[in-house]
């Protein structure tokens, strides 16, 4: 398991923590591969659930959901950023949309080669097609389209062992002092937010 | 008074709302003139007090002061960003540091040509030299160094009329839906945060 979370990533890799319900994670999921390749960095994908992290920090929800004025701005910001990056955008009719099943599947996929393609498709459905990505049917369709054994993988995703792995991932996020998504690590340096991706990719120790 | 806040700025100008106590405003105060010039934009400087805006929004303080984990990160982020922009940085021993007097003086200065130079010097003292910028002595020194009639200006800054003007500025910030600093406007488009300055400068309506 070369990408085990406890391994210290080298400076030639970027560790990418994201939540499939997070709109700013959507931007980074869609653009990180090209951006990292342009800087000769390998991406280590780390899907996780931000909700339990917020709860552990004593926040009832995402800061910009709790703060209405900031929330209004965020949706306008997303329109502009998607235009800037050339990404499609439809404001989800439900936000934050539950994405537990796809996150459990992504946990498996990101230890294999199909994780990024799966995550991109889930993000596309959530933030460009306003689909309920926590539905078994939707996840099954995505896996089938990728030519994968959908029912086997959904079974493995829902296994006790995999559920435990996701809880451990949340605990690791806490130990790494993550408080939002997306979050990037280059070595031990933490960068928070899609708008820090380029800083993370060009980071060199002082 | 060509820069009256109620005038709608044209797309060839960028309206720059900042708070002299705000660390991310420090970054923008120091770099906006060169950045705006590079894009052929004129800067309209709008000093204001973020504290009353937070209170009106029902927030007891800046979000990242209320949220300890985010706060820790912010100071590390500042070290990296100052390195990136080539700016000096010393974490203020008091934060957010009260800056009422310099803000009142800045309100006068930003309707005259010396406002930007005054604000940059106050920011330098606050965020690179850890000085108490709300002290009359400090403000007097800064004005003297700029060759200005310090005592007259401090008197004008503390006048009833100018205090009222600052309160009106806060109310205008509320009407414009500002919830943080720095905030930029290009036409009616609002951009929040130092990391949106470049997006604001390159903005063209859809």
Please tell me the predicted confidence (pLDDT) of residue A42.
96
Please tell me the predicted confidence (pLDDT) of residue A133.
98
**What's the domain count of chain A?**
1
> Residue B3 has which token pair?
């820069």
Q: What is the pLDDT of residues B6-53, one digit of tens each?
A: 444 467 999 999 999 999 999 999 999 999 999 999 999 999 999 999
Please tell me the predicted confidence (pLDDT) of residue B67.
75
A80–B57 C-beta distance less than 8 A: no
B199 interaction partners in chain A (CB closer than 8 Å): 80, 84
Q: What is the pLDDT of residues B159-200, one digit of tens each?
A: 999 999 999 999 999 999 999 999 999 999 999 999 999 999
Segment A126-140 mean pLDDT: 98
Q: What is the mean pLDDT of chain A?
A: 92
Give domain status of residue A4, yes or no. no
CATH code where residue A100 lies: 3.40.30.10
Quick one: what percent of chain B has pLDDT higher than 90? 84
- Residues forming a β-bridge with B45: B16
B177 interaction partners in chain A (CB closer than 8 Å): 69, 72-73
How high is the ipTM of this complex?
0.89
Residues 104-143, chain A, touching B (beta carbon < 8 A):
none
Give domain status of residue B82, yes or no. yes
In chain B, where does DSSP find H-type helix?
23-38, 50-56, 63-66, 68-85, 100-109, 115-128, 136-145, 150-157, 160-175, 197-201
Q: Is A198 on the interface with B (CB under 8 A)?
A: no
Domain hosting A30: range is 13-201
Give domain status of residue A197, yes or no. yes
Q: Is B65 on the interface with A (CB under 8 A)?
A: no
Please tell me the predicted confidence (pLDDT) of residue B30.
98
Q: For chain B, give the longest Cα–Cα distance.
A: 49
């Amino acid at each position: 398991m070369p990408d085990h979370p406890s391994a210290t990533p080298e400076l030639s890799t970027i560790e990418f923590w994201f939540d499939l319900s997070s709109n700013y994670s959507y931007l980074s999921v869609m653009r990180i591969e090209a951006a990292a390749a342009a800087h000769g960095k390998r991406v280590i994908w780390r899907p996780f659930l931000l909700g339990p992290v917020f709860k552990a920090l004593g926040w009832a929800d995402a800061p910009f959901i709790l703060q209405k004025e900031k929330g209004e701005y965020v949706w306008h910001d997303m329109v502009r950023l998607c235009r800037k990056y050339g990404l499609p955008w439809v404001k989800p009719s439900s936000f934050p949309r539950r994405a537990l099943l796809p996150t459990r599947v992504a946990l498996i996929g990101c230890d294999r080669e199909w994780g990024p393609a799966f995550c991109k498709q889930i993000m596309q459905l959530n933030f460009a097609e306003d689909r309920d990505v926590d539905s078994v049917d939707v996840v099954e369709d995505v896996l089938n389209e990728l030519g994968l054994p959908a029912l086997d993988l959904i079974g493995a995703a829902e296994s006790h062992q995999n559920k435990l792995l996701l809880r451990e991932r949340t605990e690791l996020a806490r130990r790494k002092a993550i408080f939002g998504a997306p979050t990037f690590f280059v070595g031990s340096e933490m960068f928070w937010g899609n708008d820090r991706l380029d800083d993370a990719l060009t980071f060199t120790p002082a």
